[in-house]
Amino acid sequence: MPFRITCVCLGNICRSPVAEAVLRQRIALAGLADEVVVDSAGTGGWHVGHDMDPRSRTVLDVHGYPHAHTARQFNADWLGTGAADLLLAMDAANYDDLLALVGRAGSPVSLRMLRSFDPELAHLQAPDPRLDLPDPYYGDAADFDDMLSMIEKAADGLVGGLPGMLSER
């Protein structure tokens, strides 16, 4: 069974679908696509069934990341079914929400903040707000570019550590 990573933000239309697309490409380039599956979800349900924000789609297109997306809400039932091995929270609020769900479920799933994989931030412990991936929803195109840059740094760190995570399973 593949190692399953779920990227989680608030609405699953900006940050987590971009993180999903970047991670998928980086994982494929590392030759791990058969061993690692990536998806995304939101802690809130108000965008369920929608495509990602057009600005997220644009930043992915401009930078050559393939993508297909339909927003979903994270479901605590996933914790007991093996649907996720690693949850990646985009910010401290999502981290806290997921931590509560994981605790109630008694799930063995690992929970990390995405940016904790950025080598420059690896010394910080979640839910340190310096690990937050700022939500660009109310921003402009530059905020979406900044978001992508932060995701890419973290994705490179995560993919570099995947062989170790896979061998520990």
Rounded to 10°, the helix 15-29/141-167 angle is: 50
Q: Which is the catalytic residue, given 7, 14, 15, 57?
A: 15
Q: How far apart are CA 153 and CA 119, in angstroms?
A: 8
Q: Which is the catalytic residue, given 39, 85, 118, 135?
A: 135
Active site residue 135: yes
33-50 burial, b at 16+ Cβ within 10 Å, e below that, comes to: eeebbbbbbbbbeebeee
Q: Which is the catalytic residue, given 7, 9, 26, 118?
A: 9
Active site residue 169: no
Active site residue 7: no
**Residues that are catalytic:** 9, 15, 135
